[in-house]
Amino acid sequence: TRRMVAAVVAAEQVRFLLRTLGAELRALGLDNARGKLVRQALAYTEKMERLTAEGKGTADRGRVSAYVQIGEMYQDLGSAEQNPDYFRRTDENYARAVALAEELARADPDSDLARGNLALTLDRLSRVRALLGRFDGPDGAAALLDRSLALRKEIVDSPRA
């Protein structure tokens, strides 16, 4: 339907905005403006998701990107030793991005894009967990990094779509 197409296009535009404008704001040191942009984009993609179930994948990819950027913003605010609360929030947002990326990869197991996004989010989360000293266990840095590398190798060795 026309509404679904509009929602999908709008969600893709939000993703583009997050990638380009978010990166530029970060490079300029305008973290406050970047934070506002990311929070607004996250609210917008959630609204788009409610408008159409058929455009859900596009809106969800936008949400994955928003969670990653929110995590980056908290991480940029200081080290794990200086401000453990910010790193806890970084971890939470990266974990949200991983959970959503896992859903997308399960929903479309032949999508190299979905599996690649999952690999990237697993890598981000593994790095933060390492900085927090959480190396062991199924949710530890080592296991997350192993999963990320295995997915990347699988995509390169046996691309699907």
> How confident is the model over 14-69, as pLDDT tens digits?
667 776 777 787 788 887 887 777 777 766 656 655 554 444 555 677 788 878 87
Q: Give phi and psi for 37, each to the nearest 5.
A: -60, -45
> How confident is the model over 63-118, as pLDDT tens digits?
888 788 778 777 776 677 777 887 888 899 899 999 999 999 999 999 999 999 99
Contact in structure between 103 and 64 (CB atoms under 8 Å): no
Candidates 57, 59, 92, 45; CA nearest to 73 is 92
